[in-house]
Amino acid sequence: MKKRRGRRGFWWWSWLLIVLTIGGVVGGFFYGKQKWDEAPKEYVAYAALSFHVRDVFRSTQNGLEVGSIGVADANESEVLRNVKSEESLKEIAQNLDFANQWGVSQNEAILQLRGGLDLDLDQVSDQLAVAARLTNSQEAADFANAVATEIPKLIKRLDEKNKKEAMEQFSREAQPLVDENITAKEKLKESLTAKGVKLEPGPGVDLGDYLYIPEVLDAKLEWDSTSDALKEIYESQSEYRSYWSKTVRPSFVMTKASAPPNFVGPNLQPFQARWSVYGMTAGLVVGSLLMLTCWKLFP
């Protein structure tokens, strides 16, 4: 009988567990609302650009074929990647003085800016949407506008750099043949001079009267050979040179960002749900301990 009464006493104190568990859930629910009120709110500002970069080079049997392929191509990706680079974001952070305003280091400010920047390219309309997400409405707008303003300049710098590198590569490829051609021309000139002929070899100069001289003929054939090889490499580069000689439509800011009046996050429900779970857990633990203690003290 005593054992049975002890069991009844144990379950009698279960109301403590129920009350504390319910109280923990309710308390956590309202405490979550308080934490949400204290949490920094995020604002998203949007700017839009007319976005034009050089189409990627795709050579076909019918000539140069360029155009959209449905995803960001190599040139577009290079621009978008550089927008989020440390170099670009560092300059923007310094100009807007975000590090001092937020009381953080320059690197931390750059990380926050990179995490809050989203770029959405629409290839059909050639438009780029710049979305800046920060905890201050005006700062979000300033950041979006700074990025949008920088992008056309960045496109121009990257295109000029790539063009310069391509032209330098073309020159390096042709230089050995240029040197050979110059050497062959000098050799031909020396052969003519040795026979008392004062002529400057070049386009339109007829050397037919002197080709009976073996030394002149050999030098002329060598010069013609190097000239043909040089012409061939220039012709092989012509399509690429034509590609880089074309101008690109300028990019420009279509719509500037304004300070958004409403925040987009965080949401209230996740805060309340999380703290309700914390409260329920605490209620279960504390309620179980009190239930066990009271059963031992008051069986």
pLDDT in tens, 141-200: 999 999 999 999 999 999 999 999 999 999 999 999 999 999 999 998 898 888 888 888
Asked whether residue 100 is domain-assigned, the answer is yes
Which residue shows structure tokens 């060598």? Answer: 222
What is the per-residue pLDDT for 11?
78
Distance CA 40, CA 137 (A): 11
Tokens found for residue 40: 């920094």
Pairing of strands 127-134, 59-60: unpaired
Asked whether residue 280 is domain-assigned, the answer is no
Distance CA 172, CA 44 (A): 49
Asked whether residue 47 is domain-assigned, the answer is yes
pLDDT in tens, 16-61: 889 999 999 999 999 999 988 888 899 999 999 999 999 888 765 5
Q: What is the CATH number of the domain that holds 58?
A: 3.30.1890
Q: Which of 124, 125, 120 has the alpha carbon at shortest distance from 147?
A: 120
**Reported confidence tier of residue 64, pLDDT bands at 50, 70, 90:** very low
Mean pLDDT along residues 65-87: 79
Contact predicate 126/52, CB 8 Å:
yes
What is the per-residue pLDDT for 1?
42
pLDDT in tens, 208-227: 888 888 888 898 899 899 99
| pLDDT for residue 12 is more than 60 | yes
**Reported confidence tier of residue 297, pLDDT bands at 50, 70, 90:** confident
Asked whether residue 278 is domain-assigned, the answer is no
Asked whether residue 238 is domain-assigned, the answer is yes
Asked whether residue 158 is domain-assigned, the answer is yes
Distance CA 24, CA 280 (A): 5
Asked whether residue 17 is domain-assigned, the answer is no
Q: Range of 161's domain?
A: 41-266
Distances (CA, A) of 253 to 15, 91, 125, 172, 298: 66, 19, 14, 38, 77
The CB density around residue 195, as the number of other CB atoms within 10 Å, is 10
Contact predicate 90/146, CB 8 Å:
no
**Reported confidence tier of residue 294, pLDDT bands at 50, 70, 90:** confident
What is the per-residue pLDDT for 59?
66
Strands (E), 51-100: 59-60, 63-64
Asked whether residue 211 is domain-assigned, the answer is yes
What is the per-residue pLDDT for 63?
47
The count of structural domains within the chain is: 1
pLDDT in tens, 85-132: 999 999 999 999 999 999 999 999 999 999 999 999 998 899 999 999
The one-letter amino acid code at 141 reads A
Q: Is 262 helix (H, G, I), strand (E, B) or coil?
A: coil
241 vs 4, residue with greater confidence: 241
Tokens found for residue 216: 């002149």
Distance CA 140, CA 47 (A): 11
